[in-house]
């Protein structure tokens, strides 16, 4: 880290503690272009944090920059639904033909509030069932953990009321029998089962078709609504997100992340077309025009099927390269991947649930991530945590990060031999 970057980080630790803490985990950004980010000393890093998945097309993408310029000519007026929102909804329907209608929101948080409120109103029930590996994200009520039999939960974060936590039941990831047991107990009062299809809280876990089928069957048998969390997977895994990639047919789907192209925060909720759902009158305020135009530009680019093909190719290249390095250095370095979303971990066994997640070697990962950063590649400071490729990553960029990993593993080997 250069002198100016260190000075700013020192200042941030006291003046802006959240920025300081996250700046230590990654960096304080000065600029970004393509798949690289730059600190205050103009030091470049290959980025695999991906703006928490929002940077799908790459930083400084020309289509997105043009959308921002177009939004600026509109006066950046807030409080109105922009005419461009109609074009955005048409594109969303083109990518996800099984879903309609759509409500576009200014944030993922508002999208989640609307989706869960609709499920409770539609079913007349109150309980929400989640899986242990579900991404907690912007939903306060999801920051809970199982604390007793049948998925009874308690808050993980101070300030979340015990009453709110009691409305959420937590089921182990991948355990259809446990889901059946919880629904047997609370099914008459279960409004929704929420599914993060890759268990992003544990990094990346590819779901089995049997598990997905069981979740859908048990949810509908209990009279609850199946809510699909597409905030990471939407538009990344395929044009139709996880629903298309894994063949899931949700009742409700919540989007965010890549929809805003990394330019602006935006969320969306949609319902299975066959439901004929009415979102209700308690709708949030409209999203800003810049977010709408950025989302429209993103989806327009994704009409080109080569985008996801390129993402899959680069992901496969990275996965194969990591496996080769693990074998060469006799390290239990694993890459779990679905499309352009991946998670790396030092683990003797594959991370498939909460138990295997807890057994990963987090100390070795911290060393590895620090050394990779010194070699010019920015990976999550903790593991296994979701990482992301963008359309801007080329084969040379993947080769470069593999070289950084090789350098890091060589240094770890020398340190361990001392």
Residues 157 and 25 in one domain: no
CATH number, domain of 30, equals 3.90.1150.10
State the Cα–Cα distance between residues 274 and 270, nearest whole angstrom: 12
Confidence (pLDDT) at 25? 65
Domain boundary (277, 301, 325) is at 301
Residues 362 and 404 in one domain: yes
Domain boundary (301, 331, 352) is at 301
Residues 52 and 133 in one domain: no
Domain count, the chain: 2
Confidence (pLDDT) at 150? 67
Domain span at residue 319 reads 3-61+305-417
State the Cα–Cα distance between residues 355 and 172, nearest whole angstrom: 10
Residues 319 and 330 in one domain: yes
Confidence (pLDDT) at 280? 78
- Asked if residue 387 lies in contact with residue 381, where contact means CB atoms within 8 angstroms, the answer is no
Residues 335 and 192 in one domain: no
- Asked if residue 166 lies in contact with residue 186, where contact means CB atoms within 8 angstroms, the answer is no
Residues 43 and 76 in one domain: no
Residues 96 and 139 in one domain: yes
Taking the whole predicted model, whether its pTM rises above 0.85 is answered as: yes
Residues 69 and 208 in one domain: yes
Burial class (CB in 10 A: 0-12, 13-18, 19+), 289: buried
| Angle at the Cα of 241 from the Cα atoms of 240 and 242, rounded to 5 degrees | 125
State the Cα–Cα distance between residues 347 and 350, nearest whole angstrom: 7
CATH number, domain of 143, equals 3.40.640.10
Residues 66 and 206 in one domain: yes
Residues 222 and 320 in one domain: no
Residues 297 and 335 in one domain: no
Residues 95 and 163 in one domain: yes
Mean pLDDT per 10-residue segment, the chain (418 residues): 73 73 72 92 93 94 92 78 92 96 95 95 95 86 76 77 84 94 91 97 94 97 97 96 97 96 94 90 86 95 95 98 97 97 96 91 95 96 92 98 98 88
In 3D space, the residue among 142, 39, 115, 69 whose CA is nearest the CA of residue 289 turns out to be 69
Domain boundary (301, 322, 351) is at 301
């Amino acid at each position: 880290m250069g002198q100016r970057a260190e000075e700013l980080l020192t200042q941030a630790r006291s003046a802006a503690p959240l920025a300081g803490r996250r700046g230590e985990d990654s960096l304080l950004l000065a600029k970004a272009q393509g798949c690289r980010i730059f600190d205050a000393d103009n030091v470049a890093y290959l980025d695999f944090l991906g703006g928490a998945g929002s940077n799908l097309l790459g930083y400084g993408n020309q289509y997105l920059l043009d959308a921002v310029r177009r939004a600026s000519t509109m006066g950046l007026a807030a409080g109105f639904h922009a005419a461009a929102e109609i074009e955005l909804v048409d594109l969303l329907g083109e990518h996800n033909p099984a879903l309609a209608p759509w409500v576009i929101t200014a944030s993922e948080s508002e999208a989640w509030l609307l989706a869960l409120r609709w499920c409770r109103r539609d079913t007349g029930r109150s309980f929400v069932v989640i899986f242990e590996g579900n991404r907690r994200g912007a939903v306060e009520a999801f920051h809970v953990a199982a604390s007793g039999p049948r998925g009874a939960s308690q808050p993980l974060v101070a300030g979340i009321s015990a009453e709110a936590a009691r409305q959420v039941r937590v089921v182990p990831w991948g355990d259809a029998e446990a889901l059946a047991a919880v629904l047997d107990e609370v099914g008459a009062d279960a409004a929704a089962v929420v599914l993060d299809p890759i268990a992003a809280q544990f990094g990346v876990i590819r779901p089995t078709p049997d598990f997905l089928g069981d979740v859908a069957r048990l949810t509908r048998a209990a009279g609850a609504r199946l809510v699909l969390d597409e905030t990471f997977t939407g538009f990344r895994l395929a044009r139709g997100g996880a629903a298309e990639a894994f063949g899931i047919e949700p009742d409700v789907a919540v989007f965010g992340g890549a929809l805003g192209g990394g330019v602006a925060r935006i969320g969306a909720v949609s319902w299975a077309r066959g439901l004929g759902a009415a979102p209700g009158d308690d709708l949030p305020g409209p999203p800003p025009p810049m977010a709408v135009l950025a989302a429209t530009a993103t989806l327009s680019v994704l009409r080109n099927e080569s985008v996801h093909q390129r993402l899959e190719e680069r992901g496969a290249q990275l996965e194969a390269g990591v496996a080769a390095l693990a074998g060469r250095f006799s390290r239990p370095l694993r890459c779990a991947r679905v499309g352009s979303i991946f998670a790396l971990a030092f683990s003797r066994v594959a991370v498939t649930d909460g138990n295997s997640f807890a057994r990963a070697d987090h100390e070795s990962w911290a060393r590895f991530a620090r050394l990779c950063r010194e070699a010019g590649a920015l990976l999550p400071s903790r593991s296994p945590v979701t990482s992301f490729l963008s359309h801007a990553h080329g084969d040379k960029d993947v080769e470069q990060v593999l070289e950084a990993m090789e350098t890091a593993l060589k240094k770890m080997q020398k340190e361990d031999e001392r």
